[in-house]
Amino acid sequence: MKKEILLMSLIVLGSALGHTQNPVPVMVRSPKEKMKFYPCSACHRPSTSLGEVPLTAQGQREGHRHRTLEFKHMPEVQECFICHGHQNPDTLVLLDGQSISYEQVPLLCGQCHGLKKGEWEKGLHGRLEGNWQTQKIKPICIECHDAHKPKFPKLKAFPPPHLPNLGKKKGDHHEMDSTSSKPH
């Protein structure tokens, strides 16, 4: 009995000590380097109206750039300003109107995808780069998902591999044993 109490005490103490140590910080990477059309302000000027999308001179020259954008996120909403800031084109905007940076995109996605955001925070959704001793990097939503079409395409399965012949004919391994009425 004393051994069990001592063992339990050591387990509890070890667990408590593990929680008092400073954990290695988890960082997020800025997605801006990989974004095709960033900064947005190169082509878009700030707007006071949600209905207009004022363009800079460069934006007027390159106005065709978003025509190839396929929007399949929320079929009922075809408005850029649900997520993108119209007063500051280089920011995102939450449903309450608060501007956030692109590094804070999990806050934006989490407004509608709260369960996935919770899983991401706990490490159950997405991945974690690094190890227990080094700085950890947690990719944010738009590093894996296209923000405008987040659902992954369906994958086509490959056919099964060909099995080696091994010199046996199909069905040979189930032949009847001559001394028995049952298959081997």
How far is 56 from 3, CA to CA, in rounded Å? Answer: 76
Torsion, CA 64, CA 68, CA 69, CA 71, rounded to 10:
120
- Listed by start position, the domains of the chain span 23-144
pLDDT by position in tens, the chain (length 184): 666 766 666 565 555 554 445 566 677 877 777 777 677 877 777 877 666 666 766 666 666 566 667 777 877 777 777 888 888 888 899 999 899 998 899 999 999 999 999 998 888 898 888 877 778 888 899 888 888 888 888 888 898 888 877 776 666 555 555 565 655 5
**Which residue stretches of the chain are H helix?**
2-20, 57-61, 105-110, 114-122, 141-144
Give residue 45's identity as a one-letter amino acid code. R
How far is 132 from 141, CA to CA, in rounded Å? Answer: 22
Q: Where are the beta strands (DSSP E) in the chain?
A: 26-27, 92-93, 99-100, 136-137
Contact 91/101 with Cβ under 8 angstroms?
Answer: yes
Contact 55/47 with Cβ under 8 angstroms?
Answer: no
pTM of the prediction? 0.63
How far is 62 from 47, CA to CA, in rounded Å? Answer: 19
Q: Report cis status (omega within 30 of 0) of the bond before 39.
A: yes
pLDDT 10s digits, 13-67: 555 554 445 566 677 877 777 777 677 877 777 877 666 666 766 666 666 566 6
**Which residue stretches of 21-136 are H helix?**
57-61, 105-110, 114-122
Q: What share of the chain is helix, strand, coil (3-state, %, to 5)?
A: 35, 10, 55
Structure tokens belonging to residue 63: 């106005």
Contact 138/28 with Cβ under 8 angstroms?
Answer: yes
Task: Collect all residues with Cβ–Cβ distance below 8 Å to 182 and sequence separation of at least 6.
Answer: 176
